[in-house]
Amino acid sequence: MQTIDELLELAAEQDPIEGAIPFLEQAVRLADSQQDREAAFNARTELVQAAAFSGFPDKALIHFAGLLGTYDRHRQQFESSTYQILWMYKWILSGALDNPAFPLTRLQKLEADFERRTREQGYGSHYRAYHALMLAKQLGDPAAAQAAFLAWRDLPRDQLSDCKACEQNKVMHFYIWRGNPQAAVKLGREIIDKDMSCHNVPTVTYANLLVPLLTLGHAEEARHAHAEGLRLARLDRNFIDTIAEHLRYLLLTDQTGTALTIWAEHLDLALGIHNSNDLFEFLSISAALWQTLEAEEAVSVLLPRSFALYDPAQVYRPAVLATHFAAEAGALAQRFDRRNGTFRFAERLQETLALGTST
């Protein structure tokens, strides 16, 4: 039987990071069975990070709860991990927001607990204010989003704030959301020109630039952003929603054949993610893509066996697939809207489906 250290070493060798999850889960189980508290804590810490950054926020949430419980019961032993716990808590808040099965009342309790812990450690409310902005945007509330945005930008940064590259990208995304492509493009260009980077930036920045650039008539710059952004995001489960933005760009520029190729190579990855918001984006653009192909009787394309409508002959009727993906996206939209008490996800789905009838 492999030891805990051997399992951790195997996990560290995995690329992409999602490959580490099975080894880390084994390490956690083994450490728990041996009642090795420190080893279990360390393995769970790595597991939460691997799950959070590979499209499995549900796993991250489950193991973070165990991690937090151990930390609270044995604070003296794990005091040195306080900052790391708070930083990971940010990922959990984001994952809970993007999980329609997670009630908003429970999310509010998490938010309050996070803020209590950050204040106890002498940190400010900078990230908490940003989380309020994310919630307002998901609810589709412009007034609340504007107020949250101004509050977030007015508060001083602290050690729990996201890196400057991430923050500028998030400001850029807010301007896109509010319909200000000029401001968004200015910030996006600055990110790229200054080589600002982190785990997600500039990969997501290139995708965010696509529609604003097209809106402003900068077709050649958009083409470059698509080529470079797709190169960075391709076949990475953590960027499935980013791939959806590249597919949106391809539909807007009448490149349906290219869109189909890229979509097919990412379908298996997308069907395996557990971030419901990212999955919703991919399912929605999938429905729009197949709607653009409905004039064709049948389309030959290689799709994975994991696909619910998999055909060994690899020949598919566009109308059937368009209906299938619209229904799947619609079911997710209903779950989010039921949880949030809004119709925003249903509206977002209709906005995306309109691409399939206008191209």
pLDDT of residue 159: 96
CB atoms within 10 A of CB 76: 5
Could you identify the residue written with the tokens 């307002």? 136
Residue 239 lies in a domain: no
Number of domains in the chain: 2
Instruction: Please tell me whether residue 47 adopts helix, strand or coil conformation.
Output: helix
List the domain range (segments joined by +) for residue 336.
253-359
Residue 203 lies in a domain: no
Longest CA pairwise span in the chain (Å)? 67
pLDDT of residue 57: 87
Q: What residue spans of the chain are helical by DSSP H?
A: 4-12, 21-33, 37-52, 57-73, 82-97, 104-120, 126-139, 142-154, 164-177, 181-193, 203-215, 219-233, 240-252, 256-271, 276-292, 318-340, 344-358
Q: Would you mind telling me the total number of residues written for the chain in this entry? A: 359
pLDDT of residue 138: 97
Residue 24: half-sphere exposure toward Cβ, Cα within 13 Å: 23
Q: Give which of 344, 232, 268, 356 is closest to 208, Cα–Cα.
A: 232
pLDDT of residue 237: 86
Helix (H) or strand (E) holding 150: helix 142-154
Could you identify the residue written with the tokens 């007034």? 143
pLDDT of residue 359: 53
Q: Is 313 exposed, middle or buried (0-12, 13-18, 19+ CB in 10 A)?
A: exposed
pLDDT of residue 328: 98
Could you identify the residue written with the tokens 């890229």? 262
Residue 333 lies in a domain: yes
Residue 232 lies in a domain: no
What are the pLDDT digits (tens) for 309-356? 999 999 999 999 999 999 999 999 999 999 999 999 999 999 999 998
Boundary (domain end) residue, out of 59, 77, 95: 77
CB atoms within 10 A of CB 89: 21
Alpha-carbon separation of residue 217 from 91, 204, 207 (angstroms): 36, 21, 16
Task: Report residue 35: phi and psi, to 5°.
Answer: 55, 40
Boundary (domain end) residue, out of 77, 103, 133: 77
pLDDT of residue 358: 66
Residue 227 lies in a domain: no
What are the pLDDT digits (tens) for 50-92? 999 887 888 999 999 999 999 999 999 999 999 999 999 999 9
What residues in the chain have per-residue pLDDT under 50? none
Residue 59 lies in a domain: yes
Cα Rg of the chain, angstroms: 21
Alpha-carbon separation of residue 80 from 24, 52, 71, 76, 162 (angstroms): 22, 22, 10, 8, 21
Could you identify the residue written with the tokens 């949430």? 61
Task: Report residue 316: phi and psi, to 5°.
Answer: -135, 145
Boundary (domain end) residue, out of 60, 77, 94: 77
pLDDT of residue 297: 93
pLDDT of residue 55: 78
Instruction: Please tell me whether residue 254 adopts helix, strand or coil conformation.
Output: coil
Residue 355 lies in a domain: yes
Task: Report residue 251: phi and psi, to 5°.
Answer: -70, -40
Q: β-strands 299-300, 315-316: how paired?
A: antiparallel
Residue 354 lies in a domain: yes
